[in-house]
Structure 1
Amino acid sequence: MNTSSVWVAIVAFGCGSYALRVGGVLLRARVTLSRAVEKSLERSIVVLLLAVAVTSTMFDGHELSGTARVLGVAVGGLLAWFKAPLVVVVLVAAGTTALLRLAGVV
């Protein structure tokens, strides 16, 4: 993939994202969604974010990431589950990954 195609993809993604946001604001007063549809949309957002998080955790480019990253993210996820502040979650997850890598866990 060359540089120009990456820039085209970035611009297209940005324009699409902006169009979705503007469309939501403009159409919210005109379109009424049922409670079931709204609940499905909320769940789909969570699923999409979870899929991105898992993919980013498990893969580094085209290869599997190391055990240290997976364990660091797991520790961060556990802290987030118990509603720790975001700064604490990020710092402890990064620290866990760093310490594991320092100890030789790849």
Structure 2
Amino acid sequence: MSLWFWVLLACAVAYATKLLGYLVPRRWMQNERMTRIAGTVTIGLLASLTAVNAVASGQALTFDARIGSLVAAAAALVLRAPFLVVVLVGAAAAAGLRLLGWG
């Protein structure tokens, strides 16, 4: 089977899953436990996307300015900086490291 078949099948499954979400009773979604689970899953997905984007380049692992940027942003988070400051610190760290020739 061609790649397009699998891409279209994945699209159809994703669309069907989204449609099935509308059939879930409202009281299930307003449950405190469901709210906690949804928040935890969201944080996990964002953390995994951040990790993959920080060290992956195609199908290879690379260690470049993105790692330094991530470390600088994490340090700003530990110091309880506002989100905008965290983003700016990460961007400045990446720019500085690239200017120095690392990545």
Instruction: Give the TM-score of the pair, scaled to structure 2.
Output: 0.65
Partner-residue secondary structure (3-state), 2:27: coil
Distance 1:86 1:22, change over 3 A: farther
Q: CA deviation at 1:43?
A: 2.5
The runs of at least 4 aligned residues of structure 1 exceeding 6 Å deviation read none
Alignment pair present for 1:75 and 2:72 = yes
Instruction: Give the structure 1 partner of residue 58 of structure 2.
Output: 61
Listed as ranges, the gaps of 5+ residues in structure 2 are none
Question: In 2 relative to 1, CA 39–92 (structure 1 residues): closer, same or farther, beyond 3 Å?
Answer: same
Q: Distance in 2 between matches of 1:40 and 1:76?
A: 26
Going from structure 1 to structure 2, the CA distance change for 1:11 and 1:58 (only over 3 Å counts) comes to same
The share of aligned pairs that are identical, in percent, is: 23
Q: Is the 8 A contact 2:29 2:35 kept in 1?
A: no
Query: How many residues are matched?
Result: 102
> What letter corresponds to residue 93 of structure 1 in structure 2?
G
Distance, in Å, in 2 between the alignment partners of 1:32 and 1:22 is 14
The CA distance in 2 between the partners of 1:96 and 1:34, in whole Å, is 39
Q: Which runs of 5+ in 1 are unaligned?
A: none
Correspondence for 2:102: 105
Alignment root-mean-square deviation, CA = 3.6
